[in-house]
Amino acid sequence: MDIIDRRLNPRGKSLANRQRFLRRARRQIQDAVRDAAKSRGVADVADGEKISIPVDDLREPTFRHAREGGDRDHVLPGNKEFVKGDRIPRPPSGGGGGGSKGSPDGEGEDEFRFVLSKDEFLSIFLDDLELPDLAKKAVKQTEFPTYARAGYSVSGSPASLSLVRTMRHSLSRRMALSRPSLSTLEALEARIAALREAGADAAELTRLEEEHARMLARRKRIAFIDPNDLRYKRFEPVPKPIAQAVMFCLMDVSGSMTEHMKDLAKRFYMLLYLFLKRRYRHVEVVFIRHTHEAQEVDENTFFYSTETGGTVVSTALDEMKRIIDLRYPSGNWNIYAAQASDGDNTSDDNAKAVETLDKVLLPLCQYFAYVEVGSEDKDWTAPDTELWAAYKVLRKPGANMAMRKVRRRTEIFPVFRDLFSREREAA
Amino acid sequence: MVAAMRATGDVLVSGTDWDFDRLRRVYDAIEGIATGEFGLDVYPNQIEVITAEQMLDAYSSIGMPLMYRHWSFGKHFAHNEVMYRKGYRGLAYEIVINSSPCISYVMEENTMAMQTLVIAHAAFGHNHFFKNNNLFRQWTDASSILTYLDFAKSYIARCEERHGQRAVERLLDAAHALMGHGVHRYPRKRLPDLRQEEKRERERQQYQESRYNDIWRTVPRGPDAPAEADDAAARKQRLRLPEENLLYFFEKIAPRLQPWQREVLRIVRHLAQYFYPQGQTKVMNEGCATFVHYRTVQRLYDAGQLSEGAMMEILDSHTAVVRQPEFDDPHYGGINPYWLGFHMMGDIARISTEPTDEDREWFPGIAGNGDPWGTLRNVWRDYRDESFILQFLSPHLMRKMKLFHLRDEARASEMVVSNIHDERGYRELRDALARSYDVAVQEPDIQVVDVDLTGDRRLVLHHRQRDGVALDRDDARRVLRHVANLWGYPVRLVEVDAASERCVHEFDDIEPRDPFV
């Protein structure tokens, strides 16, 4: 008899089956995920999700008897008052008094329920979204040369000297040229000393002394370490993709922004964060709020504290530029920005904002999204807001700038998908 | 007082925690009782401790330690996981595999008392049944099943690499749909292989030629027999129709399948055959295991090796397992095989040791023979559920269970209580219960009856209805689609009443939509 502890066996033995199952049910799961995302609000989206999907495609049909019809026999336990010949009305739900009441594996149900893990949920949720123009524009920018070891060279800086290699070459050269070793020399000196002491055999002594002189000369001629022996570790520049991103959240917090608008903006930022998080190993978020002046704040202040003042958008853009220069050199970071505003701006600032964006920020950014939030009853047929009208000139095919209008929660995700979907037509 | 009668032995099982050393000592104690006093004969045991997640894994791959990959196993896993996490359903305490060595999975969450119960139940009860029951001996090969599964898994993985996951998945879908119809139910004539057949055909020809004499041509003969009928008969003979093993039929005869597709069908067919006895011996198998664990823990307790608390825990879970709600209970979901099996085994033991006059009349062969374990071992060896109930359900037990028989005829407006547990009803009641465990009644009888070889190669299947019980139309159509894809040409299913041979319903012809080629 053997008792075997299998608890430490690799987990997830049925992972391959699960993936096959998810692939099979992909379409239904996608629909279910979309529905969940619409009704649930963004904050819960990141969690794993319980999903119900119709069993249609997942049915495993077999030839089996119908539940009803035909003559059937039932043998049942627990008789109380029946005697032979009693007649009992047929129960309405079919199947007679006993027999199968729904197969045990839940096959008979119309809905199939199971839980998606967080990763699975997100991968389906963000499935057909893609980072905008990443392939075209950013190949160069998302790579950064680093140095990697690549063999040895005969020249280099002293710091990269490879001692082991150098000594190995030195040793083989000394052996090849038969340079007398220190121990041989010392042994000879000892013998000379002994002969001198004894005072006998002068001829031998002379011969040994000559030998000694020859050894010394040879040791002098053949260097212990020759420049030929030197070996240096060689480094080669290797382009390495940058797996980090910074996301700038810019928001107008002046009095005209209501809680509702901020909420819309927050949801958009969260989606963007989730999305970036899946693509980059490391994502940092910078919050910049502005009225007539801009400042970097923490998340709480950003969303929940109110400020009063006018609205000067270019201050936020300038602040963003300053922070990029200070902390996020564009060679090392993929930069994304999302600006939310109700569209107000001081008229004479428009030109400055557009110029900063066009000349300074857009070249640095991977993508810049402008989301104009409005109250639910806002009439979109109204003339364009100050900022929208100003930014419109930047919107051209192939530009890494996009703008959308949002006024309801349910519109957030469609707009987000619209911005980042793979088949995005040029905005 | 039970406590007074207990020996004060070395307490092996108490408290909740278990460790490998204690597991081993308990195993040895149980082995002594099971192979000694009970005379059980088991495959070597291999007990594997696993986690809850691994148990779910095992669940979803139909209890086998290795299995090829298929989405349906993922689906079952996902479903079981939700049921388990939400607490709708507990996990089994063990899973046992009919293999040699016999592998029993036990969960790490089990308490020491539960492990004791599980070892007695699975490693001895089920194990003895697997090794000795004739059905298992006839249909399964315990020593090679794991090797075969290993082959199946790697073969199907290779097929996926070569032909694409999608193609293999579709084929497995089709094969799984027919899994219930992949067993040769009745022993059959050994099939001569095709090469032999060809050789024999040539020999016949040569013989004919050697005996040819032109004079026979001039001898007058009777009128020619109708060639048409002969053709159909010869065709059926050649294709060995009717054939009820659909998987076998497609594997051998389907014209358009590739060799690898035939091999995959064969793998599924072998699995179907391996599981075939389990469906027919549920009551006996569980009855045997439950009876063995019950008697074993009693012995352990009597010998003082089980603490009072451990015994209470074991009895608690034992009674939960053999619980049978009555028919009017909202929890009623059919007859619990553990309940029926356990009580029948106990009843047989009672009959052989303390028979009543009634028992002597009903069971003259075993009543009072004084050898309960020998009697049970014979029963476990020779019967399956249907014949077991037909033979051994005693009037005593029918009364105790208050069984009654309800006849539900389609043309009547009400159901009739046709028999109850009284003198007039015992035999028919017992027959009716046994019949409900008959595979021929449980599973639809579907046969390939003809192929139109000269025309459009249409395949004709018959479902032989018993008692007017039809097929589930929706599911049948889905399966037919798979069948059409396997066959590669149109398929027709006809429902025929088994008694009158009258055609009851004809399904529309299903054309292959995306045949396997």
Q: What are A288-308's pLDDT values in tens digits?
A: 888 888 888 887 777 777 777
Rounded to a whole number of angstroms, the distance from the CA of B307 to the nearest CA of chain A is 23
pLDDT score of A262: 80
Instruction: Name the stretches of chain B with pLDDT < 70.
Output: 1-9, 86-91, 187-201, 220-230
Of A421 and A24, the structure prediction assigns the larger pLDDT to: A24
Name all domains of chain A by residue range, CATH numbers in brackets.
Answer: 18-58+110-127 (no CATH), 158-234 (no CATH), 242-420 (3.40.50.410)
CA distance B63 to B71: 16
Q: According to the per-residue pLDDT averaged within each range, which of A106-110, A198-202, A395-399, B97-101 is highest?
A: B97-101
Overall pTM surpassing 0.90 (yes/no): no
Q: In this complex, is the C-beta atom of B145 within 8 Å of any C-beta atom belonging to chain A?
A: no
Residue B455 neighbours by CB distance under 10 Å:
8
Q: For residue B64, count CB atoms less than 10 angstroms from its CB and return exposed for 0-12, middle for 13-18, buried for 19 or more.
A: buried
Q: In whole numbers, what is the pLDDT of chain A averaged over residues?
A: 77
Report H helices in B86-226: 112-118, 127-132, 134-139, 145-163, 165-177, 194-210
Does the beta-carbon distance from B45 to A99 stay under 8 Å? no
Contacts of B259 (CB under 8 A, 6+ apart): none
Q: In this complex, is the C-beta atom of B81 within 8 Å of any C-beta atom belonging to chain A?
A: yes
pLDDT score of B232: 73
pLDDT score of B2: 42
Identity of the residue in A7, A78, A101 whose CB atom sits nearest the CB atom of B402:
A78
Return left, alpha or beta for B509; rule: phi > 0 is left, psi -120 to 50 is alpha, else beta.
beta
CA distance B442 to B455: 35
CA distance A206 to A210: 6
Residues 402-441 of B with CB under 8 A from A: 402-410, 413-422, 424-425, 429, 432-433, 435-436
CB B124 within 8 A of CB B104: no
State the sign of the Cα–Cα–Cα–Cα dihedral A289, A292, A294, A298. negative
Looking at this protein, which amino acid is placed at residue B145? I
State the sign of the Cα–Cα–Cα–Cα dihedral A352, A358, A364, A368. positive
The pair of structure tokens assigned to B105 is: 């999975």
Does the beta-carbon distance from B410 to A66 stay under 8 Å? no
The pair of structure tokens assigned to B247 is: 């998987």
Intra-chain end-to-end CA distance of chain B, in Å:
74
Does the beta-carbon distance from B177 to A21 stay under 8 Å? no
pLDDT score of B411: 84
Kindly list the residues from chain B whose CB atom is less than 8 angstroms away from the CB atom of residue A100: 334
Kindly list the residues from chain A whose CB atom is less than 8 angstroms away from the CB atom of residue B461: none
Of A113 and B268, the structure prediction assigns the larger pLDDT to: B268
Q: What are A299-344's pLDDT values in tens digits?
A: 777 777 777 777 888 888 899 999 988 888 877 788 888 888 888 8
Q: What are A347-356's pLDDT values in tens digits?
A: 888 888 888 8
Q: In this complex, is the C-beta atom of A9 within 8 Å of any C-beta atom belonging to chain B?
A: yes
When pLDDT is averaged across residues A265-289 and rounded to a whole number, the result is: 79
Q: According to the per-residue pLDDT averaged within each range, which of A99-108, A405-414, B192-201, B454-463 is highest?
A: B454-463
Does the beta-carbon distance from A84 to B54 stay under 8 Å? no
DSSP at B306:
B
CB B292 within 8 A of CB B151: no
Residue found under tokens 């899994």: B179
Report the residue of chain A nearest B403, measured CA to CA: A77
Does the beta-carbon distance from B469 to A69 stay under 8 Å? yes
Instruction: Look at A94-98, A117-121, A268-272, B169-173 and tell me which has the smallest mean pLDDT.
Output: A94-98
Q: In this complex, is the C-beta atom of A117 within 8 Å of any C-beta atom belonging to chain B?
A: no
pLDDT score of A43: 45
Rounded to a whole number of angstroms, the distance from the CA of B192 to the nearest CA of chain A is 30
Residue A128 neighbours by CB distance under 10 Å:
11
The pair of structure tokens assigned to B77 is: 């896993």
Kindly list the residues from chain A whose CB atom is less than 8 angstroms away from the CB atom of residue B100: none
Of A153 and A142, the structure prediction assigns the larger pLDDT to: A153
The pair of structure tokens assigned to A171 is: 């040793």
Q: Which of A237, A227, A232, A235 is nearest to A159 (CA)?
A: A232
User: Residue B186 — φ and ψ, nearest 5°?
Assistant: -115, 145
Rounded to a whole number of angstroms, the distance from the CA of A231 to the nearest CA of chain B is 48
Does the beta-carbon distance from B416 to A85 stay under 8 Å? yes
Rounded to a whole number of angstroms, the distance from the CA of A278 to the nearest CA of chain B is 24
Could you tell me the CA-to-CA distances from A50 to A113, A118, A405, B85, B87 in Å, in that order?
A: 7, 10, 31, 12, 15
Kindly list the residues from chain B whose CB atom is less than 8 angstroms away from the CB atom of residue A9: 50, 54
| pLDDT of A133 above 70 | no
pLDDT score of A142: 53
pLDDT score of B383: 94
pLDDT score of A299: 78
The pair of structure tokens assigned to A396 is: 């051209």
Of A242 and A110, the structure prediction assigns the larger pLDDT to: A242
Could you tell me the CA-to-CA distances from B12 to A168, B27, B111, B253 in Å, in that order?
A: 67, 10, 13, 60
CA distance A108 to B475: 11
DSSP at B344:
H
| Interior/surface letters A10-27, b for 16+ CB within 10 angstroms, e for the rest | eeebbeebbebbbebbee
Percent of chain A with pLDDT over 90: 10
Q: Which of B474, B445, B465, B457 is nearest to B505 (CA)?
A: B465
Kindly list the residues from chain B whose CB atom is less than 8 angstroms away from the CB atom of residue A101: 333-334
Does the beta-carbon distance from B433 to A75 stay under 8 Å? yes
Q: Which of A1, A8, A90 to mutate to test the interface with B (most CBs of B within 10 A)?
A: A1
Strand order across the beta sheet in which A2-5 lies:
A2-5, B45-50, B102-107, B94-97
The vertex-A291 CA angle with A285 and A295, nearest 5°, equals: 40
Q: What are A224-236's pLDDT values in tens digits?
A: 999 989 999 998 8
pLDDT score of A423: 47
Q: For residue A234, count CB atoms less than 10 angstroms from its CB and return exposed for 0-12, middle for 13-18, buried for 19 or more.
A: middle
Residue found under tokens 């998606």: A116
Of A119 and B245, the structure prediction assigns the larger pLDDT to: B245
Report the residue of chain B nearest A88, measured CA to CA: B415
Q: In this complex, is the C-beta atom of B268 within 8 Å of any C-beta atom belonging to chain A?
A: no
pLDDT score of B282: 92
Q: Which of B459, B475, B464, B463 is nearest to B510 (CA)?
A: B459
Contacts of A397 (CB under 8 A, 6+ apart): A426, A427
Q: In this complex, is the C-beta atom of B333 within 8 Å of any C-beta atom belonging to chain A?
A: yes
CB B479 within 8 A of CB B177: yes
Could you tell me the CA-to-CA distances from B356 to B170, B352, B363, B392 in Å, in that order?
A: 59, 10, 10, 15
Identity of the residue in B27, B108, B416 whose CB atom sits nearest the CB atom of A87:
B416
pLDDT score of A108: 41
Return left, alpha or beta for B370; rule: phi > 0 is left, psi -120 to 50 is alpha, else beta.
left
pLDDT score of B378: 94
Q: In this complex, is the C-beta atom of A223 within 8 Å of any C-beta atom belonging to chain B?
A: no
Q: In this complex, is the C-beta atom of B108 within 8 Å of any C-beta atom belonging to chain A?
A: yes
Q: What are A12-53's pLDDT values in tens digits?
A: 777 888 888 888 877 777 777 766 655 554 445 555 566 677
Does the beta-carbon distance from B101 to A2 stay under 8 Å? yes
The 3-state DSSP class for residue A122 equals: helix
